[in-house]
Structure 1
Amino acid sequence: MVTLILFKPWTDIWPAEGISEFSSFATITVLAMLILSAGISQTGIVQIVGRKISAFAGESLNSQLLATIGVTGPT
């Protein structure tokens, strides 16, 4: 978006036009989810939970699927 605005003479996109999409709730929600998931991923919580699920479920794919659904479903 910034590149398109900076090259306005060639793209004909004004700053108000480029920023207008950020007034959409859907865009803001997706951006917030990306920021949240990056933060959670960097804390290492995802890896810890993954190891716990793997240890609990064992080698069975059905058990692994059920454990994953059980952990992520309620959230």
Structure 2
Amino acid sequence: MATKKPENLSFEEAMAELEGIVHSMEQGSLTLEQSLKQFERGIALANSSTNKLQQAEQKVSILMANDTHSETVPFQGDVE
């Protein structure tokens, strides 16, 4: 099966693949060449995911601009 281009994956698919890449690299059983290919794929997936998040943020901002009673706040993420 051919690997899809990162931009053709959903955000969730890209994140799942990225997690798999991280896991395989952490195992330490890949050759240098395999590691470099996985790293390159991981960078492409991360960039694509960042673009998708930015697009979603823009859509939310546009939708919220029409709502005068709500205000957007930055996402804080998980706090440890």
Under TM normalisation by the shorter chain, which class is it? 0.3 to 0.5
* Normalised TM-score (structure 1): 0.33
Pick the structure with greater CA Rg: 1
- TM-score, normalising length from structure 2? 0.32
Task: Identify which of structures 1 and 2 has the higher relative contact order when contacts are C-alpha pairs closer than 8 Å and 6+ apart.
Answer: 2
